Structure 1
Amino acid sequence: MPEKIDSYRDLVVWQQAMDLAVAIYQATRNWPKDELYGLTSQVRRAATSVPVNIAEGYARENRGSYQQFLRIAQGSLKELETHLLISQRVGIASSETVKPLMTHSESVGKLLRLLIRRLSSG
């Protein structure tokens, strides 16, 4: 039986998105300083946008708004993945760094899709 959801913090998708954001901050800590206001900032912003939009949507207490914020979170995930791939292509990040982050992002994306479907059918 699923646990009771009293807060957005109880959502596994939010928890996983928070873990991803923390992993992104750790991974980008050693990126070149001249990228701080470029790709580093973009990657971090996209990563933090995911749990923020999940939480904001939950707070709306309206199913349609909630789903829209979850879709925005999905968009931020795809933005994050694209920034990570760019960072790999330009030599800022190694494939060993990018691959687990991409896997984590894809996992969060699956959870988001499941939650959107559940809200659509319920």
Structure 2
Amino acid sequence: MAFKFEKLEVWQLAVDLADEIYLLIEALPDTEKFNLTSQIQRAVTSVSLNIAEGSTGQTDPEQSRFIGYAHRSLMEVVACLILMKKRAYISTELFEKLYQDSEKLSAKLLAMKKYLKKGLQSNEPGKSYEIE
């Protein structure tokens, strides 16, 4: 039996992105250990954690608020990726892949937030929030 959040596509995408980021940060220089490494690790973890926490909300507005937190954390991840690219810590190919993955997740989070704002029920198992 799975928890509600495990059935959400946005949560699954967030976990996949976190896995990729965790692999990336292993290669960062030690000088970034308490800066970019720590920041992107906390931000990318926060995305999936906020989606999970919000899924337990009693109301759609409450869940929507946590989706907003997840989206803000995702923007932190993107900003860190841009800094890593500028400092040549990440290849162009990997940057583009992670950036595209982030764009996809961002669009789905915003679509889910919009869906929740309409006051519709979001507790359908396996429900995917489509981009309009």
TM-score (norm 1): 0.90
Q: How far off is 1:50 after superposition?
A: 0.5
Deviation readout 1:19-59 (Å, 9 max, x if unpaired): 00001001111111221111011111111110100001111
Matches within 5 A, 1:54-73: 54-73=51-70
| 2:111 pairs with one of 88, 110, 114 | 114
SS at match of 2:18: helix
Q: Which residue of 2 aligns with 1:14?
A: 11
Q: Which residue of 1 aligns with 2:77?
A: 80
- For residues 22 and 61 of structure 1, the distance between their equivalents in structure 2, rounded to whole angstroms, comes to 29
% identical equivalent positions: 33
SS at match of 1:81: helix
Matches within 5 A, 1:90-105: 90-105=87-102
Which segments of structure 1 move beyond 6 Å, counting only runs of 4 or more? none
Q: How far off is 1:87 after superposition?
A: 0.9
* Matched-pair contact (CA < 8 Å) for 1:57–1:65: yes
More helix by share: 1
* Matched-pair contact (CA < 8 Å) for 1:27–1:97: no
- For residues 42 and 91 of structure 2, the distance between their equivalents in structure 1, rounded to whole angstroms, comes to 20
Pairs aligned (count): 118
- For residues 100 and 57 of structure 2, the distance between their equivalents in structure 1, rounded to whole angstroms, comes to 29
Q: How far off is 1:6 after superposition?
A: 5.8
> Is it true that 1:27 corresponds to 2:24 in the alignment?
yes
Q: Which residue of 2 aligns with 1:39?
A: 36
